Structure 1
């Protein structure tokens, strides 16, 4: 895994995000802004990009962090998501999270199953202006970090 910082990592992070969240593509400039407040990581198997993760630090009195894992479709079911999740969850707890949430695009059925297998339950569903596919907010039910 390579943490945020360099343009190559940001570009790779952008690629994964835009493949998986094609309804809300981000520019490199938008990602640079996010990188100032979030922990962005691109994950590789050797030199091959397999996914990216985001940890949004707690910014409220509930100490809620958001952990998002994205694995490119051709690299799913190979253990990469699990490794990325363990690292991102540890980071969230290290920076003070007591509550963990995630967000998954409703059309990403594999991502929803992954979240549910890890103990997340749906807490909200919403559609962004101009979109037709809902995003689903989920909360980890066992938050003993």
Structure 2
């Protein structure tokens, strides 16, 4: 893994979410980065049943999480989301989470890949644009003024 960035921690591990401790860790990262859409433990438990969720650690320190929503039957479009806690950004961790998520999306049969980002997450929008995503939709959730972007990877896997 360290060939991507020389300053990546050697003890980085990315694990599938299994059990309440990892559900809580995934929820913590999600809720910190996306305060406009906080999730309960039950919300995350439900997501574990339908999505591929992972958590990332360096040693015993939680550094991020990811989500892969499997391809929708009618469009074969998967959603890949990588989140890194602010104090751990800029070291290539998001890159690794994103690449693992993208691999998983294609393993699940994705013909196209999207991501969703809170518009105020400027670093997340820049990351997506750097990786070839373009904005396809802007929207707000009911009863919430926060603006969200749906972004699609320009080139599908061949």
TM class by smaller structure: over 0.9
Q: Which has the larger radius of gyration?
A: 2
Aligned length: 145
1:64 alignment partner in structure 2: 77
Partner of 2:110: 97
Aligned residue for 1:78?
A: 91
Post-superposition Cα deviations, 1:84-130, rounded to whole Å, max 9, x if no partner, equal: 11100000000100100000000000000000000000000000111
For structure 2, which runs of at least 5 residues remain unmatched after alignment? 1-13
Gaps of 5+ in 1: none
| CA distance in 2 between partners of 1:45 and 1:84 (Å) | 13
Per-residue deviation, 1:61: 2.3
> TM-score under structure 1 normalisation?
0.98
TM-score w.r.t. length of structure 2: 0.90
Correspondence for 1:123 among 117, 127, 136: 136
What's the counterpart of residue 57 of structure 2? 44
The separation in 1 between residues aligned to 2:24 and 2:97, in whole angstroms, is 18
Cα RMSD for the two superposed structures: 0.8
Cα distance in 1 between the residues matched to 2:82 and 2:75: 22
SS in 2 for 1:25: coil
